[in-house]
């Protein structure tokens, strides 16, 4: 806070107008979550309260601990939650799917099965400074099949850092650190879904009005199961440019980097509202989480209006990889 106060004082001394720092990202706590705002514009919300489900839907599908909405710089909503085809999809999130705990198969992804779930636990820290705002939270992965009742199987510290907007883009750092409090290891079994960072896109997008491009030059038809340093997903929007999107970056220190991907093909979901992508570090190889050890995955999102080229994506990745 002292740094922030001195920064504002220096601007006033220099005679700079209020607009010089009006785009600083600020945190605002609400009954449902933590908003990251740039001036009056909402960039994204981290949901701390469980989102209710529509009538007739199993209550197990209620969930907290995810990002939604994530908006483009001009305010285009790019995420969605609880689509009728997959009520367990929640904007930007990354629970593990096929998991072996003390000999039991536990699924933290498919909430309706009642085997496991991931939710917000508590806020660890919040900060604002002239360059970014950051939130760090604890998320709890509960094993609902434990013989003595639900038990905490994985602790996750999730950091969300939102950098100030620059023109028609802004960056979000998404850092997840996991560990197990159990005396035995947890095995994150190889599977096409799980962990990393997943993105269920706006219902406006399908394979006819959105595109996918990976660092290896793969489009939607070839990206699934491939390895990538980055992936661009962009589609139609109401921005003046007609397009908005997200560049997802995987840090070179991440497990299995370049990371394997799950990308829904063109015929997924009967060809309707079918944009889902994920960096999935256990896509091809299981990952053992040992007691007493912590494991970190770092991602960055560049959220934009208009278009973003492969050359720009590579430049963003090179800058991110040096952090």
**What CATH number does the domain containing 253 carry?**
2.70.98
pLDDT at 323: 83
Please give the Cα distance from 114 to 84 (Å, whole number): 18
Q: Is residue 29 part of a domain?
A: yes
Structure confidence by residue, pLDDT tens digits, 159-206: 999 999 998 999 999 999 999 999 999 999 999 999 999 999 999 999
Cβ proximity of 215 and 227 under 8 Å = no
Domain range for 183 is 25-321
Q: What is the DSSP letter of 283?
A: S
Q: How confident is the model at residue 32 (pLDDT cuts 50, 70, 90)?
A: very high
Buried b or exposed e, range 68-99, using 16+ CB within 10 angstroms: bbbbbbbebbbbbbbbeebbbbbbbbbbbbbb
Flag whether pLDDT at 21 surpasses 80.
no
Q: Is residue 13 part of a domain?
A: no
Residue 318, number of CB atoms within 10 A of its CB = 11
Q: Is residue 60 part of a domain?
A: yes
Q: pLDDT averaged over the chain?
A: 94
Q: What is the dihedral of CA 152, 278, 124, 322, to 10 degrees?
A: 130
Collapsing DSSP states into helix, strand and coil, what is residue 184? coil
Please give the Cα distance from 2 to 31 (Å, whole number): 28
Q: How confident is the model at residue 18 (pLDDT cuts 50, 70, 90)?
A: very low
Q: Is residue 3 part of a domain?
A: no
Number of domains in the chain: 1
pLDDT at 319: 98
Q: Is residue 51 part of a domain?
A: yes
Tokens matching residue 28: 């605002």
Cβ proximity of 53 and 61 under 8 Å = yes
Q: Is residue 85 part of a domain?
A: yes
Q: Is residue 244 part of a domain?
A: yes
Structure confidence by residue, pLDDT tens digits, 81-127: 999 999 999 999 999 999 999 999 999 999 999 999 999 999 999 99
pLDDT at 13: 41
Q: Is residue 256 part of a domain?
A: yes
Tokens matching residue 247: 């560049």
Q: For residue 257, which of 182, 184, 321, 174 has the smallest C-alpha distance?
A: 321
């Amino acid at each position: 806070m002292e740094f922030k106060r001195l920064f504002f004082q220096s601007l006033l001394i220099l005679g700079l107008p209020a607009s010089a720092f009006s785009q600083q990202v600020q945190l605002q706590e609400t009954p449902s979550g933590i908003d990251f705002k740039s001036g009056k514009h909402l960039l994204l919300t981290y949901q701390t309260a469980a989102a209710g489900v529509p009538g007739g839907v199993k209550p197990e599908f209620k969930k907290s601990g995810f990002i939604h909405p994530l908006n483009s710089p001009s305010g285009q909503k790019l995420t969605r939650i609880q689509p009728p085809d997959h009520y367990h999809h929640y904007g930007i999130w990354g629970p593990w799917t096929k998991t072996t705990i003390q000999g039991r198969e536990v699924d933290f992804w498919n909430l309706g099965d009642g085997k496991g779930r991931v939710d917000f636990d508590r806020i660890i820290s919040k900060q604002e400074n002239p360059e970014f705002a950051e939130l760090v939270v604890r998320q709890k992965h509960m094993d609902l099949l434990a013989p003595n009742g639900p038990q905490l199987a994985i602790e996750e510290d999730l950091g969300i850092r939102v950098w100030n907007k620059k023109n028609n883009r802004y960056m979000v750092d998404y850092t997840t650190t996991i560990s197990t409090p159990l005396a035995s290891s947890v095995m994150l079994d190889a599977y096409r879904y799980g962990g990393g960072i997943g993105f269920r896109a706006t219902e406006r997008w399908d394979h006819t009005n959105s595109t996918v491009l990976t660092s290896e030059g793969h489009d939607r038809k070839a990206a699934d199961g491939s390895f990538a340093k980055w992936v661009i997903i962009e589609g139609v929007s109401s921005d003046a440019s007609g397009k908005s999107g997200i560049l997802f970056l995987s840090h070179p220190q991440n497990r299995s980097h370049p990371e394997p991907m799950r990308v829904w093909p063109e015929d997924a979901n009967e060809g309707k509202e079918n944009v889902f992508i994920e960096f999935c570090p256990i896509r091809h190889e299981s990952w053992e989480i040992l007691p007493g050890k912590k494991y970190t995955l770092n991602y960055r999102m560049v959220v934009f209006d208009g278009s973003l080229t492969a050359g720009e994506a590579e430049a963003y990745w090179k800058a991110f990889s040096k952090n």
